[in-house]
Amino acid sequence: MTQKSQSVLWVTGLCFLFVLWTSWGFLAVSWVGAKSPSILELGERERSELVKPESSVAWEEDPMAIFTSHALGQLPHAPQILVWHFRNRLWLLVLIGAMLSGVLVGGVMLKRLERHLERTAPRIPERE
């Protein structure tokens, strides 16, 4: 394998992993949001406990940290999350499947284009 052909595979693989990880995060956050009670369902005591003290840790307020912690924290619940989404939000799984398929099809097309360009490109003699 040449370095050029390996780079297309690496880019496709990394894009696939990025879409997969981001999609898992969306599924986990969606499931957590659906399972947690609404603010309207909470009593007065529970609502007062939701107010954060001023000495809260900064990473607790960072959206990316919250997203990542939910994605990692819900990995043990993967079967329940997938079953719940099949029953309640099938459209989200279809959308994720379409995005992952798009990455794979794009990778195959890039690989074909690279092979075509290698065959048809004029050879330039190397300087010594």
Radius of gyration of the chain (CA): 23
Q: Which residue is associated with the tokens 């939701």?
A: 50
- Judged on CB neighbours under 10 Å (0-12, 13-18, 19+), 82 is middle
Query: 51 with 45: CB under 8 angstroms?
Result: no
Task: Give domain limits for the chain.
Answer: 3-47+58-120
Encode burial over 84-106: b for 16+ CB neighbours within 10 A, e otherwise.
bbeeeeeeeeeebeebeeebeee
What is the pLDDT at residue 55? 46
What is the pLDDT at residue 128? 67
What is the pLDDT at residue 102? 97
The share of the chain scoring above pLDDT 90, in percent, equals 46
**pLDDT digits 0-9 by tens, 28-63:** 988 888 877 665 566 666 656 555 555 455 445 678
